[in-house]
Amino acid sequence: MAKSNKVIISVCLCGAGTKKDQAPTVPYTPEEISDQAIECAKAGAAIAHIHVREDKIVNGEMQIGYKSMSLEKFTEAVELTRKKSREQGVDIVLNLTTSGGEYEDQKRLQHLGKLLPEMCSFDPNTLNWANSYIFENSPRFLNLLAQEVVKYDIKPEFEVFDTGHVDSVMYYVKKWNIPQPPHIQFIMGVGGSMPGTAGNLAFLVDKLPAGATWSVSGIGKAHMPMMLAGLALGCDGLRVGLEDNILYERKPDGTKVIATNKMLVERAVTLTKLAGREVATAAEAREILGLKKREL
């Protein structure tokens, strides 16, 4: 069970794949990303998980808002978010992705030492994402990433998609002396990994390393069930956002209401309070996760 009555709400603003034709408000530009990070912080998010996008020619065609690991885009998004945070008196923890897929190892790591985020993602295994492409996280890359998080004192958010991934987390923690306890982010419902059911989440929670904190996100249709199951099981955090889910509700007539990041954060806040829990501030999230605030 959770060690605190607080729930840390994390918002994943855009991810690598969600397009504006699916969710018109998904942010592409650093300006959009920073604006939505601040908006979501005001709504109750303590952590913003950041990917960046760029316009890029792919297979001879210009792709708007294509997935990217551009250091320039990361720098602009982070610096704008920090600037707006200071100006508006808002506090939010920045968690930068290292999930680059097709990109070479160094491109997936270069922004960590440059921008010194408080957190970064750490995907401890490769999987066949949605049975459609290889979500590659090689041991070669993970050993480099583990060294970077120790070197720069960045808290890894270990993204766990299946049972064996928990063992992999502890392998890298022990091998590279990553400070414990670890923070585990269960991501449920990706095709090719563990389906998003309450039984599966309970099984995973039972496998947690001693003292670990944990959060949960359900992809797509698993979104609401995993929030509810997470709260029932005493989660330390809930992850929401347009990276994971674009549907807010389906009306009785079948009409789909497409979400915004703010809407998803606000609903997580409501569910947290209905469960008798309190929403953690960024400062409280740092205390729970053992983070050191960057004075930048």
Side-chain half-sphere CA neighbours of 3 within 13 A: 12
pLDDT at res. 4:
86
pLDDT at res. 296:
65
Q: Crossing angle for the helix pair 139-151 and 105-115, nearest 10 degrees?
A: 10
> What is the rounded CA–CA span in Å between residue 169 and residue 158?
7
Side-chain half-sphere CA neighbours of 22 within 13 A: 15
Look up tokens 């600037």; give the residue. 83
The residue ranges of every structural domain in the chain are 6-289
* Number of helical H runs and strand E runs in the chain: 9, 15
> What is the rounded CA–CA span in Å between residue 139 and residue 144?
9
pLDDT at res. 102:
77
Q: What is the pLDDT along the chain (296 residues), one digit of tens a residue?
A: 567 899 999 999 999 999 999 999 999 999 999 999 999 999 999 999 999 999 999 889 999 999 999 999 999 999 999 999 999 999 999 999 999 777 899 999 999 999 999 999 999 999 999 989 899 999 999 999 999 999 999 999 999 999 999 999 999 999 999 999 999 999 999 999 999 999 999 999 999 999 999 999 999 999 999 999 999 999 999 999 999 999 999 999 999 999 999 999 999 999 999 999 999 999 999 999 999 888 76
> What is the rounded CA–CA span in Å between residue 273 and residue 10?
16
Strands 213-218 and 183-188: parallel
Best CATH choice for the domain 6-289 from the list 3.50.50.60, 3.40.47.40, 2.40.50.180, 3.20.20.70: 3.20.20.70
Question: Residue 60 corresponds to which tokens in the numbers above?
Answer: 């001879």
